[in-house]
Structure 1
Amino acid sequence: MRMKKCPKCGKYTLKDFCSGCNEKSVTIKPPRFSPVDKYGKYRRALKKAKM
């Protein structure tokens, strides 16, 4: 099973249709991993600042 997301309301589900708005849900994909992440230091700084 793959996690899916409703494009209309933004809810996550495992079903083909959203239980909230009855819209067809789409499969979500994780972002690609790159060892040369030019924005990595900014993301880590932001995450550290939120803690």
Structure 2
Amino acid sequence: MRFQLRKCTECGEYTLKETCKKCDKSTKSVHPAKFSPDDRYLRYRIAEKE
């Protein structure tokens, strides 16, 4: 099993769980997606950031 740090979208608390134990909201991974030079959707993500 691979542990990845997660962050609550509501209160900003860091945890390893899928839900925050402070406010019971869902958490989001804080790690970026892997980079691949063959990524077919790269231009869409770049356009979304701008």
State the distance in 2 between where 1:18 and 1:29 align.
17
Paired position in structure 2 for 1:21: 23
Judging by fraction of residues, say which structure has more helix. Answer: 1
Any gaps of 5 or more consecutive residues in structure 2? 33-50
**Greater percentage in strand:** 2
Task: Report the TM-score, using the length of structure 1 for normalisation.
Answer: 0.55
Between structure 1 and structure 2, the one with the greater Rg is 1
Post-superposition offset of 1:8: 0.3
Paired AA for residue 19 in structure 1? K
- Selected match of 1:12 from 11, 14, 22: 14
Tell me the C-alpha RMSD between the 2 structures: 1.0
Deviation at 1:29, TM superposition (A): 1.9
State the aligned residue count. 30
Structure 1 runs (4+) deviating above 4 angstroms are none
Specify the code of the residue in structure 1 equivalent to 2:6: K
